[in-house]
Chains A and B, each alone.
Chain A
Amino acid sequence: MDAALLVQVVLNGILLGALYACIAAGFSLVWGVLNVINMLHGSLIILAGYLACSLWTEWQVHPLAAMLPVGLLLFLAGTALQVLLINRVVDRPVLTTLTLTFGLDMVLYNAMNAAFEATPRRVTLELGRLTLGEVVLPWDRIVAMLLALALTGLLYGVLRASRLGRAIVAVRMDREAASLMGIRVARIYALTFGLGAFMAGVCGALLAVVYPITTNATGQLLGKAFIVCVVGGLGTVPGALAGGLALGVTESLGGHFLGPQAAALLGFGLMLVLLVVRPTGLLGRKGYE
């Protein structure tokens, strides 16, 4: 088997995996801290993608410049959503919270379809390609990967170094103890959800550069986020990274050797295996670092 081809496939997987890690990081944060599975995450990413595409076509705003405003908009929307609705069910059983976010997702999905229509669109930046011997990597995807890694790293930094970040980690580890230490848990929940939505926002803007944005993709994105969390380990940024890269490479290899449908199947298969063998994931442990 051609070595260069193998390298190509693996590198494609890594490019993809970095994006997956970024997609999953915000989702994992919300799940780990609030213990709520945010079924809206995929739709939020697509919403951000639509907004970025619209900004590009209407006002020629470069998607990388659009990342921040779109992210902030989603941050505000996410925080509001949490404060108004999700906070009321945070202590209820899994079935309730999952169904609630699913219901909200249905509303958002319908609204997006009505507003934007499902025709795929993206922002095509002609950046050329990087050629290393026989391996060819498009620059726009390399840039996307680097930015995805940077954002994930930024999240990690915020959680480790900032006051807000440490408070979030404290609430994740022990809600009661954190509350006794003066941390306003409801506020942390709101900000965490907002932060998750922010990550979805910047990811969506980023994604618009490399993938066609369409509401049909919301479920797939959510599915990837699930898989990354389970495989890599819930509640850790290194876990999201590990899970994302594992998934990306698995899909790339599977897709190449077995066809595109097999790729998705392998991803879920990997998740099921991990769920049974090591539900805490490759790097999972308590506390979000």
Chain B
Amino acid sequence: MSPSNATALLVWILALAATPLLGDNYVVKIATFVAFYAALALSWNFIGGMAGYPSFATAAFVGLGSYAGALVQNAGAPLAVGWLAGALASGLAAVALGAVVLRLRGHYFAIGSIALVEVLSLTASWWSGLTGGGEGLNVAFLPGGPDTIARVFLYVMLAIAILALGTTVVVMRGRLGFALRCISQNEDAAEMVGIPTTRCKIIAFVLSAIPCGAAGAAYASWVAYIAPADAFSILLTVKVPVMVMLGGAGTLIGPVLGATALVLLEETVWARFLDLHQAILGGVIVALIFFLPGGLVGLARRGRST
């Protein structure tokens, strides 16, 4: 990791961690969302950025984690166990679903991954005996006042984000990262050079699922209520790759940068232009694709070289 990257990330972590001291619960809430989306974006980077498989399955794993965590918590287990359950459920699902969906490439993979979100959402609605159906599920409340709750979940989300970041660093430096890069550029050649491509893709998919599962379970505990539409949100599943594209796909700080930028942008927009929220977000996406193909990281690099 370059020193500038390391410094930037350290500053980011410290800034988020310090928000309870610097601002009110609203600021802490935003920081929690930044950490939440950063974790999701970093996890997407494994399958979408490094392996080059355009996944729209993020919401599938977040939602699965939410429900797994909620059910485990409602059964009486402590919160942290619920979060681990979320991570585990999503990880295992990624192995099973990956075996099915990773055989596809390009558009078909993208669609297959969105289909996973829809199928899980519809299943959650249908299996109302287990999940409360369309009505949703209430989750056991964390005891404590609003300040405590705000801080606990800030640090939980931040911890998940840091774990995802750490995993990214390790993977990028080692064999797996190299293998995924090869797969993304020429999958057949990668196979011919001795890379077990199916195994590597599934590992990437699992790595992309675990932080989502943990974050989803934590989110369910935080909000204390989940329903299929929010848990398996198509908007979320598209926003996350957009964040990575905004920051710079395949890079280390890109996902973190993009997630932070988009969350802050959305908060300002929500506050002032509620009715046009979707249009503005859509406009940002369009502008991003035409004017920032390399993301913010790409922009910084160009700036440095001129």
Q: Identify the interface centre among B241, B285, B290: most chain A CB within 10 Å of its CB.
A: B285
Hey, which chain A residues are within 8 Å of B100, CB to CB?
272, 276
Judging by beta carbons under 8 Å apart, are A275 and B111 in contact?
yes
Judging by beta carbons under 8 Å apart, are B123 and A265 in contact?
yes
Q: Which of A5-13, A91-99, A128-136 contacts B (4 or more CB under 8 A)?
A: A91-99
Judging by beta carbons under 8 Å apart, are B242 and A35 in contact?
no
Count of B interface residues, CB-CB < 8 Å? 42
Judging by beta carbons under 8 Å apart, are B54 and A110 in contact?
no
Q: Which of B13-21, B153-161, B260-268, B274-282 contacts A (4 or more CB under 8 A)?
A: B274-282
Judging by beta carbons under 8 Å apart, are A106 and B48 in contact?
no
Judging by beta carbons under 8 Å apart, are B277 and A110 in contact?
yes
Cβ of A87 to closest chain B Cβ, rounded Å: 12
Judging by beta carbons under 8 Å apart, are B289 and A89 in contact?
yes
Cβ of B129 to closest chain A Cβ, rounded Å: 13
CA distance A103 to B293 in the complex (A): 15
Main secondary structure of the interface of B (DSSP, over half): helix
Per-residue 0/1 for A147-180: is the Cβ within 8 Å of any B Cβ (1 yes, 0 no)? Answer: 0000000000000000000000000000000000
- Find A103's partner among B118, B234, B289 (CB 8 Å cutoff): B289
Judging by beta carbons under 8 Å apart, are A100 and B111 in contact?
no
- Find B282's partner among A104, A262, A269, A275 (CB 8 Å cutoff): A104
Known: A93-B54, A100-B289, A265-B122. A107 touches B241 (CB 8 A): no
* A52-105 CB contacts (< 8 Å) to partner B: 85, 88-89, 93-96, 98-100, 102-105
Please, which residue of chain B has its CB at the minimum distance from the CB of A102?
B238
- Find B119's partner among A88, A99, A105, A268 (CB 8 Å cutoff): A268
Sampled A-B contacts (9; CB under 8 Å):
A85-B286, A99-B242, A103-B281, A103-B284, A106-B278, A106-B285, A107-B282, A226-B115, A268-B115
CB of A20 within 8 Å of the partner chain? no
- Interface residues of chain A, those whose CB is within 8 Å of chain B, are 31, 35, 37, 85, 88-89, 93-96, 98-100, 102-107, 109-111, 114, 219, 223, 226, 230, 259, 261-262, 264-265, 268-269, 271-272, 275-276, 279
Judging by beta carbons under 8 Å apart, are A114 and B275 in contact?
yes
Hey, which chain B residues are within 8 Å of A272, CB to CB?
100, 112, 115-116, 119
Hey, which chain A residues are within 8 Å of B78, CB to CB?
none
Q: Identify the interface centre among B103, B115, B238: most chain A CB within 10 Å of its CB.
A: B115
Judging by beta carbons under 8 Å apart, are B119 and A111 in contact?
no
CA distance A249 to B292 in the complex (A): 45
CA distance A37 to B238 in the complex (A): 14
- Find B289's partner among A94, A99, A230, A279 (CB 8 Å cutoff): A99
Q: Identify the interface centre among B100, B107, B116, B119: most chain A CB within 10 Å of its CB.
A: B107
CA distance A102 to B245 in the complex (A): 14
CA distance A228 to B276 in the complex (A): 32
